[in-house]
Amino acid sequence: LLSGKPISHSIDAITSVNSGQTFLWEQIDDSWYGVDGNRLLKISVEKTEVAFSCYPEQEHWERTFFRLDDNMAEIESDLSSDQTLAAIVKKYPGLRLLRQDPEQCLFSFLCSSNTNIPMIRRMLRNLTRKFGKKIYSDGREFFAFPSCTTLASASIAELQSCGLGYRAKAVKSAAKTIASAELRLSDLKQLKYEEAKSQLLEVYGIGNKIADCILLFSLDHTDAFPIDVWIARALISHYSEICKCYVGEKLTARQYELVSETMRIHFGKYAGYAQQYLYYDIRQRIGRSW
DNA sequence: GTACAGGCAGTAT
DNA sequence: ATACTGCCTGTA
């Protein structure tokens, strides 16, 4: 998964952007375009090679975005000491966690509550079109993700016109929290998991699951283990003995904490990678409507 | 019609 | 402390 590598490596990149972590990617001809904060990222498949480009220009953005500095050999062998995961890791070579723009990641998962992926994509696309800066590239019009200042000054009605529904209140409130520097997202990278998470939980609209997604997908906390209904299903089928306290697909707040912590201990510092493999696997097998 | 979809805050035990 | 309920909105 490096610039100029054989075509098979593009599959890794595409599966990673299509693995439910990020929502603003689209395919046009042989290229994939994705919005990440102010940037427009592009993965193009040219003849036998893969090229990564970016607007505004940025050298080797793929190294940070696809976490190429992570030692996948070590991670895979580490996770493979678990029998279930050993088989899944083998099935999806090259699947990766992404390192997304923290603000966009936060708003993306704020929009994710009690809905589905096509709806999340629609909400975010509408937000970028209404509030984001235009980016002209390859003769087309794209839109960057809007800034916190912009979202903070938007009215609830304007946000709702993007299809956010009751989430509009949370988006506006969180935007204010960040714009006022009451919360400094990038600072959370340096903190311990527990401290970073407790700061996120202060934000209106962010609960256990959303906080863990933000930590894992944008703030380098690869030990976070978010649990949505799909992960819950995976845990029921593979780890019912480890999660003794666990009863059904819906988790109460207390159950979430118990199960998430149990899995964090079970998998260790790469628990988030384990979560991503489990998620990708179950979505490959059941109900992938996107 | 109505159940449901990648949770959350508010309210009631 | 822990459990219960309503919620925007589009689709099946």
Tell me which DSSP letter residue A132 carries: S
Indicate if the pLDDT at residue A15 is higher than 80.
Answer: yes
Backbone CA torsion sign across A115, A116, A120, A123: negative
Greatest Cα-to-Cα distance within chain A, rounded to the nearest angstrom:
56
| Nucleotide nearest to A164 in CA–C1' terms | C8
Mean pLDDT comparison of A41-55, A152-166, A230-244, highest-scoring range: A152-166
Identify the pLDDT of residue A241. 87
How wide is the angle at C-alpha A121 spanned by C-alphas A119 and A122, nearest 5°?
Answer: 65
Give A252 CA → B1 C1' in Å: 30
Please report the DSSP string for A90-128 in residue order.
HHSTT-------HHHHHHHHHTTTTS-HHHHHHHHHHHH
CA of A219, C1' of B8: distance in angstroms: 22
- Return d(Cα A117, Cα A290) in angstroms, integer: 7
Average pLDDT over residues A195-218: 97
Among A47-51, A69-73, A90-94, A118-122, the least confident range: A47-51
Name the token pair of A17: 């952007």
Is 60 exceeded by the pLDDT of residue A290? no
Confidence of residue A260 (pLDDT cuts 50, 70, 90): very high
CA A33 to C1' C3, whole Å: 44
Q: What whole-number percentage of chain A has pLDDT above 70?
A: 95
Q: Please, are residues A202 and A210 in contact by the beta-carbon 8 Å criterion?
A: no
pLDDT tens, residue by residue, A265-274? 999 999 999 9
Residue type, A16: S
**Using the CB atom, is residue A209 less than 7 Å from strand B?**
yes
Distance set, CA A23 to CA A17, A38, A283 (Å):
8, 15, 15
In this structure, is the CB of residue A119 within 7 Å of any atom belonging to strand B? yes
**What is the band of A288 on the pLDDT scale with cuts at 50, 70, 90?**
low
- pLDDT on residue A49: 84
Residue whose C-alpha is closest to residue A12's, from A97, A101, A103, A96? A96
Residue type, A280: Y
Contacts of A212 (CB under 8 A, 6+ apart): A197, A224, A225, A226, A227, A260
| Res. A192: pLDDT tops 90 | yes
CB atoms within 10 A of CB A85: 21
At residue A287, the pLDDT reads 62
* Helix and strand totals (H; E) in chain A: 14, 6
| Protein residue closest via CA to C1' of B7 | A113
In terms of DSSP bridges, do strands A140-143 and A134-137 run parallel, antiparallel, or are they unpaired?
antiparallel
Dump pLDDT digits (tens) for A140-190.
Answer: 999 999 999 999 999 999 999 999 999 999 999 999 999 999 999 999 999
pLDDT above 90 (res A247) = no
A173 strand B contact, CB < 7 Å: no
pLDDT of residue A228: 93
pLDDT at A249 over 90: no
Q: How far is the CA of A253 from the C1' of B10 (A)?
A: 14
pTM: 0.96
pLDDT band at A286 (very low <50, low <70, confident <90, very high): confident
**Sign (positive or negative) of CA dihedral A39, A275, A96, A72:** positive
What's the rounded mean pLDDT across residues A122-139? 97
Q: What is the pLDDT of residue A12?
A: 86
Q: Give the nucleotide at minimum CA-to-C1' distance from A254.
A: C2
Whether residue A3 is predicted with pLDDT greater than 60 in this model: the reply is no
Distance CA A126, CA A117 (A): 14
Q: How far is CA A35 from CA A95, A137, A181, A185, in A?
A: 20, 12, 24, 19
Closest C1' nucleotide to A115's CA: B5
Q: What angle in degrees, to the nearest 10, is found between the helix axes of A208-218 and A253-267?
A: 30
User: Which nt has its C1' nearest the CA of A166?
Assistant: C8
Do A44 and A30 form a contact (C-beta atoms < 8 A)?
yes
Residue A289: what pLDDT?
Answer: 59
